[in-house]
Chains A and B, each alone.
Chain A
């Protein structure tokens, strides 16, 4: 089958491309997509030149939902709503598939979701109920990243989980804090951030705290770093200062720069640092189940929906990326009509 794919050719320049694909998988029509910082870095051209040279042209976007058009196995019905899993394993590996070098990732190693249709293996989609809010569902992938980080944390943390600190008042910090509140309802969840106006939105946590104004005797058991970029260093420094011995630091924030870390104190406190990136099928199934069981989460997650843009033309797509770039908080949702 011929498929039309809308690729980023060079920073800020999209073009139509024609691709040929076999009809041997699930065919999905993308419906609602969401822009991630990683997409924005390609669009703005802020990735290193050699990375752009190697990866473009490529269709962006790895967060999104779609409607099943055709499933030769008959397992899914035409019209079923599904969330798409961007990670695509090519062979088995000894590690989780989202960390495997044998996996490809849509919108990074190969085409993302901005296309007329997407062909996937049947295990790369997870059915979602029709009554799920489509805007929130479009960024389920981002929720799964927090979900898989928290799942791993649950397996490795040995000390009490009375006080859990989340660093970062952006989208991932919001989602991580929200999921922690669901998974650890008896823990005290404290969010550390810089922007008071963002912190005010975290009404569901036990406490919020501006990073330059931390109470003197405040101590946490475990930390979740959702800051990234150049601020990673100060966040990790503060975490190491405030965390109890044998605590776990879960890192989520992506940085283009090498971040110096106070290893002396890591040794002294016996801390564990856990890296987190991407997610796999079990995390998508887990998040869909969590949302089914806790429908009140939609109300909170809807607060992250900052822009909803209808995409009928490639110019609309450009405008949506530009709008997203100047938004300091929240997600830009693309209603995909292209």
Chain B
């Protein structure tokens, strides 16, 4: 089976000036998270879309889905975890309990605040994960990357051609991901904020999927303003 996990576990602490988590703010005519869910729900290759959300927003999310998308048994809303990896683990545990995990099962994990993900990116994630077991969506770095450990002086300037900016989805063969996460020591677990990093740490290949410059993450108030502006521009 193919699952999508929409990761909305965080409370959007970086989005200043509002109490509403950023995934619930309005983009065009709908909340950001609804736009994101729609992209996965219309893809009939994806069997279930699991939305992982802070506990006190679960009912709100269900209400929004009913209002904008309609009742849909392929969308499941459950509680996210404390960290990104905990949230992913929650989705995997849910899948294991309710559907079982076989060798072919894959999961596409996606930020709830990246509503501009394209159908092409989702399809490429499915293809790459089926073939290689894991993939990460990236775009080439455009700015020069500067490394500084002390935050005051430049340590090094790596060759930009070798650097990419990570987007989502990040997609995995579930069995492989499950086994790797369970093999982590507590120390490793604490430093692994990125699921693909688990694979690379354990010497497993992660295939690159081309992202899009438009596949932005709505993190700051400016991002939402920008997203709404380009959306209005598209309607002209």
Chain A interface (Cβ < 8 Å from any Cβ of B): 1-2, 4-5, 16-20, 23, 27, 29, 69-70, 78-79, 116-117, 312, 337-338
Contact = CB atoms under 8 A, between A and B. Distances in A.
Interface in B1-58: 27-30, 35, 38-39, 42-45
B230 interface: yes
A116 B42 contact: no
25 contacts: A1-B38, A1-B42, A2-B27, A2-B28, A2-B38, A2-B39, A2-B231, A4-B116, A5-B234, A17-B234, A18-B214, A18-B233, A18-B234, A19-B235, A20-B30, A20-B235, A23-B38, A23-B69, A29-B119, A29-B120, A69-B44, A69-B119, A78-B43, A79-B44, A117-B118
Given A2-B115, A4-B118, A337-B120, A18 B230 contact: yes
A117 B45 contact: no
A78 B47 CA distance: 13
Contacts of A19: 231, 234-235
A23 B213 CA distance: 24
Contacts of A5: 234
Contacts of A17: 230, 233-234
B116 A23 contact: no
Contact of A69 (B30, B42, B213, B233): B42
B104 interface: no
B210 interface: yes
Interface in B70-110: none
Contacts of B116: 2, 4, 18
B204 interface: no
Interface residues of B, number: 28
Interface of B: 27-30, 35, 38-39, 42-45, 69, 115-116, 118-120, 123, 210, 212-214, 227, 230-231, 233-235
B44 A312 contact: no
Question: Which of B35, B39, B210, B234 is most buried by chain A, counting CB atoms within 10 A of its CB?
Answer: B234
A116 B120 contact: yes
A116 B119 CA distance: 6
B129 to A, nearest CB: 18
B9 to A, nearest CB: 22
Contact of A70 (B29, B44, B210, B212): B44
Contacts of B230: 17-18
B118 A23 contact: no
Given A17-B230, A17-B233, A20-B28, A4 B39 contact: no
Contacts of B115: 2
B169 to A, nearest CB: 15
Question: Which of B29, B30, B45, B119 is most buried by chain A, counting CB atoms within 10 A of its CB?
Answer: B119
Q: Which 8 A-B pairs have the closest CB atoms?
A: A78-B44, A70-B42, A116-B118, A19-B234, A20-B28, A1-B38, A17-B234, A18-B234
Contacts of B231: 2, 18-20
